[in-house]
Amino acid sequence: MDRRDLLNIVEEYGSPLYVYDAEAIKNQYIRLQHAFSDVPSLKVNYAVKALSNISILKLMNQLGAGLDTVSIQEVKLGLAAGFNAERIIYTPNGVSLKEIEDVATLGTQINIDNLSILEQFGSKHPDIPVCIRINPHVMAGGNTNISVGHIDSKFGISIHQIPHLLRIVENTGMNINGIHMHTGSDILDIDVFLHASEILFETAKNFKGLEFIDFGSGFKVPYKTGDIETNIEELGEKLSGRFNEFCTAYGKDLTLAFEPGKFLVSESGYFLASVNVVKQTTSTVFAQIDSGFNHLIRPMFYGSHHEIENISNPKGRERFYTVVGYICETDTFGSNRRISEISEGDILCFKNAGAYCFSMASNYNSRYRPAEVLWLNQKAHLIRKRENFEDILHNQVDVDVQLEREHISVQ
Ligand SMILES: *Cc1c(COP(=O)(O)O)cnc(C)c1O
């Protein structure tokens, strides 16, 4: 996709707008497959929450991916997109036993991350195979050292509770068919990740009926030039080697699973917004766009950096702008960015807008959520309509509000 394509698309579908390049998603998927081509069996489960449009899920299905889901609604989206239930893994945190049972009924692989539910589920349904999510308490500490961190994380079953976990499995007679971790932190140092993997292998030895080991995600993608990204090829080489050794020792070829969200879709996405006002104050030039954290919250929520380009005037003189939105709240997308000269009506393009952008959008200020377009085979396909006023009122119950006279106090 180039600048011209993006301008044509925003001209046709209006702003603000999300655009995703199918080719970019495919390339990332293939890259991951290549990096792990040496393991007996690889399963890439796309993390639905990153970008959950049904057409994106269908693209993942075409590529041969499975799905990683965190709610029963995401499981149902996956089924609606044509996935077989067995190709979906459900990795919730803090949900009710009832929801887990409902998902199990659909035929989806369950992943349990706490001892209380594990015991209840195992007692009631000892025949349903379950994966367990382990918290290895490993995270990167600076550049070279590995530190034990996140001891208070709400995710996963602590490795310090393995004896208790084994007692539950033995008492219930349940079948553990997978071991999982997802630390949530970026994999910048491959040795840190390998260290956590060793803990997972150590844990895995306790279970005889394993089918897969799931290493979660955490693949970091570059958000700006010079950013460090996970070296997938190096990780593939080192982890595959260790995984194959483990399988030999275990006496069975297992499946190596990953569940990337950001890695697959972040760089495929562009967020296009139009400049309403250029506002010069004594110290700053603000470019105010027809959007805010209701459409793209990452910069305000996580302090994330998204590159911003003025695609309407790519060759203009560069000036410093603070790009903000139209929401009645501080909604700064970027401060003092060097951007090619901006005029009102120009289209600004935000990069890395594929993951956790649309999926975190809201209706704050009663604004419509943007439309979404998939660029597939050199053609634009609308995959979500822009909301309209009916959508804002949808589900609101308009009761006949009549205060009784005596309750209205008049001073
Ligand atoms: C969010 C999530 C992922 C995806 O994380 P990314 O950083 O987007 O790759 C994978 N697994 C689980 C359990 C998650 O909650």
Tens place of pLDDT for every residue, the chain, 411 residues?
999 999 999 999 999 999 999 999 999 999 999 999 999 999 999 999 999 999 999 999 999 999 999 999 999 999 999 999 999 999 999 999 999 999 999 999 999 999 999 999 999 999 999 999 999 988 665 444 455 556 678 889 999 999 999 999 999 999 999 999 997 777 778 888 899 999 999 999 999 999 999 999 988 899 998 898 889 999 999 999 999 999 999 999 999 999 999 999 999 999 999 999 999 999 999 999 999 999 999 999 999 999 999 999 999 999 999 999 999 999 999 999 999 999 999 999 999 999 999 999 999 999 999 999 999 999 999 999 999 999 999 999 999 999 887 766 665
Q: What ligand 1 atom has the least distance to the C-alpha of 356?
A: 8
Residue 17 lies in a domain: no
Whether 328 is catalytic is yes
Q: How far is the CA of 155 from the centre of ligand 1 (A)?
A: 12
Under a CB-based contact definition with an 8 Å cutoff, are residues 125 and 101 in contact?
Answer: yes
Would you state the pLDDT for residue 138? 83
Residue 170 lies in a domain: yes
Helices vs. strands in the chain: H and E counts, helices first: 12, 20
CATH number at residue 333: 2.40.37.10
Q: How far is the CA of 312 from the centre of ligand 1 (A)?
A: 35
Q: Which of 294, 272, 264, 260 is nearest to 351 (CA)?
A: 272
Please, what sign has the CA dihedral across residues 185, 295, 89, 55?
negative
Residue 176 lies in a domain: yes
Residue 11 lies in a domain: no
Tell me the best of 111, 112, 131, 217 to mutate to test the pocket of ligand 1, counting ligand atoms within 8 Å of each CB and taking the most.
217
CA neighbours closer than 13 Å in the CB half-sphere of residue 134: 28
Nearest CA to ligand 1 atom 4: 261
Residues 258, 347, single domain; the answer is no
Q: How far is the CA of 138 from the centre of ligand 1 (A)?
A: 16
Q: What ligand 1 atom has the least distance to the C-alpha of 49?
A: 1
Under a CB-based contact definition with an 8 Å cutoff, are residues 286 and 32 in contact?
Answer: no
Residues 158, 258, single domain; the answer is yes
Q: What ligand 1 atom has the least distance to the C-alpha of 217?
A: 9
What secondary structure letter does DSSP report for 49? G
Under a CB-based contact definition with an 8 Å cutoff, are residues 274 and 290 in contact?
Answer: yes
Would you state the pLDDT for residue 142? 47
Residue 324 lies in a domain: yes
Q: What ligand 1 atom has the least distance to the C-alpha of 111?
A: 13
Q: How far is the CA of 50 from the centre of ligand 1 (A)?
A: 8
Would you state the pLDDT for residue 277? 98
Tell me the best of 111, 182, 185, 304 to mutate to test the pocket of ligand 1, counting ligand atoms within 8 Å of each CB and taking the most.
182
Domain boundary among 238, 262, 286: 262
Under a CB-based contact definition with an 8 Å cutoff, are residues 292 and 329 in contact?
Answer: yes
Residue 10 lies in a domain: no
Residues 113, 178, single domain; the answer is yes
Residues 230, 272, single domain; the answer is no
CATH number at residue 221: 3.20.20.10
Nearest CA to ligand 1 atom 7: 218
Q: How far is the CA of 286 from the centre of ligand 1 (A)?
A: 35
Question: Within its chain, how far is the Cα of 304 from the centroid?
Answer: 14
Q: How far is the CA of 49 from the centre of ligand 1 (A)?
A: 8
Q: Domain containing 211: what range? A: 22-262
DSSP for 357-409, please give it. SGGG---GGGPPPPEEEEEETTEEEEEEPPP-HHHHHTT---------GGGS-
Please, what sign has the CA dihedral across residues 335, 278, 266, 327?
positive
Residues 255, 350, single domain; the answer is no
Would you state the pLDDT for residue 152? 73
Distance between CA 355 and CA 20 in Å, rounded?
10
Residue 98 lies in a domain: yes
Residues 98, 205, single domain; the answer is yes
Residues 206, 319, single domain; the answer is no
DSSP for 284-349, please give it. -EEEEES--TTT--HHHHH-----EEETTSTTSPEEEEEEE-SSSS--EEEEEEEEE---TTPEEE
Structure tokens at 127: 């025949």
Residues 170, 258, single domain; the answer is yes
Residues contacting ligand 1 via CB (< 6 Å): 47, 49-50, 68, 70, 91, 182, 216-219, 259-263, 355
Residues 79, 157, single domain; the answer is yes
Q: How far is the CA of 294 from the centre of ligand 1 (A)?
A: 22
Q: Which of 89, 125, 126, 82 is nearest to 109 (CA)?
A: 89
Residue 145 lies in a domain: yes
Domain count for the chain:
2
Q: How far is the CA of 48 from the centre of ligand 1 (A)?
A: 9
Q: What ligand 1 atom has the least distance to the C-alpha of 260?
A: 9
Alpha-carbon distances, residue 76 vs 43, 49, 56, 131 (angstroms)? 20, 13, 15, 20
Distance between CA 44 and CA 270 in Å, rounded?
24
Q: Which of 387, 379, 383 is nearest to 57 (CA)?
A: 383
Tell me the best of 25, 29, 46, 68 to mutate to test the pocket of ligand 1, counting ligand atoms within 8 Å of each CB and taking the most.
68
Tell me the best of 49, 95, 185, 264 to mutate to test the pocket of ligand 1, counting ligand atoms within 8 Å of each CB and taking the most.
49
Residues 208, 175, single domain; the answer is yes
Residues 92, 172, single domain; the answer is yes
Residues 167, 27, single domain; the answer is yes
Name the active-site residue from 131, 247, 328, 349: 328
Nearest CA to ligand 1 atom 2: 47
Q: Which residues are 157's β-sheet partners? A: 134
Would you state the pLDDT for residue 145? 46
**SS3 category, 120:** helix
Under a CB-based contact definition with an 8 Å cutoff, are residues 343 and 278 in contact?
Answer: yes
Would you state the pLDDT for residue 143? 43
Q: What ligand 1 atom has the least distance to the C-alpha of 263?
A: 9
The greatest distance separating any two alpha carbons of the chain, rounded to the nearest whole angstrom, comes to: 84
